[in-house]
Copies of this chain bind each other. A is one copy, B any other.
């Protein structure tokens, strides 16, 4: 059994390595972020010099931060994805497919899924939704995943989170085959995101979107102090790991952090993913910092179409008077997350079909 297991593991690692090393076309590159994380690894990564210069941060000349328009940037990216989908269809007669599994009746989850499907339509990706009742068993959900795992017309599988409490989220996510894990939540992907020399098959969508926003906004990451608020498996943790791969000096703060404000005040790049409206006040922000607000807490608002509106973690009115640049909520990170999901699905199809 051990021997068989070993051989399976070796085959698995070999196959993943093969997938990882397929050539990527640079002419069709959609993001400005590098397509390979290992390309970020520098030969002198571990060479220390005495670098005690004080930090130079651009302080805005006017007291209003530049608004980083995630909606606009995501539209540019989606437009390029659409071109690539068309090219693939023309060359191979194949359209990449995304499968979404939604368990239960959470209104916010339903809206998120609806938006993802709409986005698939916009760029020409096929999409398939399996809706399961709240009282579905673990086996029901895993069966739905397995069906998509087997289906060659599906290149990405997304399980909408959170799942109802009685389900084992880890097991469900673990049942998504790693070649279709477009969310990038598989522990092997996270490990490869973390380690120098590692190349995950998929980088989680929200962190990937945050980095693209920073790079497109001209924010230097290398050597800068980056503080990530929140350490969730789906945002905080992978964002911190990705910022580190980009050579930022990263601190993660969380609910047990003593005096978080003292730490955030030193951040050149502040990414908040705590899910607590107005947690980050103006005085938490270093003048001239770039603020990426990942928070999207639904707050009841009957004047809105869906009966609620989304609130970020950052007190926007205060932040714009201190920061150099900031993402709004909505219209900042959210649309980028969706765009990255589409891109991961496209890349997954390209990889498996060896389409350059």
Please give, as numbers and ranges, the residues of chain B lying within 8 Å of A260 by CB-CB distance: 51-52
With A194-B237, A195-B190, A231-B196: A44-B255 Cβ-Cβ less than 8 Å: yes
- A85-114 interface with B by 8 A CB criterion: none
A11 in contact with B5 (CB, 8 Å) = yes
- Complex: chain B residue closest to A54, CB-CB: B259
- A187-223 interface with B by 8 A CB criterion: 187-192, 194-198, 222-223
Is A244 part of the contact surface with B, judged by Cβ < 8 Å? yes
With A247-B256, A249-B257, A256-B223: A177-B233 Cβ-Cβ less than 8 Å: no
Complexed CA–CA distance, A150 and B233 (Å): 35
B179 in contact with A190 (CB, 8 Å) = no
Copies of this chain, tallied across the complex: 2
B194 in contact with A170 (CB, 8 Å) = no
A249 in contact with B247 (CB, 8 Å) = no
Tell which of B8, B152, B237, B257 touches A2, judged by Cβ atoms closer than 8 Å. B152
Q: Report which A residues bind B (CB closer than 8 A).
A: 2-3, 5-6, 8-13, 15, 17, 44-49, 51-55, 149-150, 152, 169-171, 174-175, 177-179, 186-192, 194-198, 222-225, 230-233, 237, 241, 244, 247, 249-263, 266, 274-276, 279, 352
